[in-house]
Structure 1
Amino acid sequence: MKVNIEIDCTPEEARQFMGLPDVDKANAVYVEQFTKAMKGVSNLDQLQDYARQMAPMGQMGLKLFQDFVQASSRPAGGKTDKTDD
């Protein structure tokens, strides 16, 4: 048996329903600080250093985010550049 339930709600309503905290203010502060730090960036190496320092969970968080972006940019069901041995 297969049952599908569709719920139509906003992200804010879903957050409240699941009891998750409201992180809008914390996110705004984070984005503001990151934006200020990026204004002084003059080269790619400096940008990467700032990103590592500012990223949640440091280097590990940055790597997870990079992996997420790379995975989401692949076509659905598409082949990856990795081979299975």
Structure 2
Amino acid sequence: MKITVDVDCTPEEARAFLGLPDVRPMQDALMRQIQERMTATLSAMEPEIMLKTWLPAGVQGMEQLQKMFWAQFAGATRREKKE
């Protein structure tokens, strides 16, 4: 025997029926704080400083990635020659 029950209610109604707390006010407060912090941080940083901070790490990361690819490529060609 198979019984199917469909419940049509909003998330708020389901939360109240199950006795779960309403966390929307806390989420809204946290999102406002996060937005304020992000806005303050971004407005304090100048584009030139951001580029100087991010670019060297990005260039070094790309160089390391290239070295890794070349090492893998060289290893694969050596294995093919041995076979």
TM-score range, shorter chain: 0.3 to 0.5
The structure carrying a bigger helix percent of its residues is 2
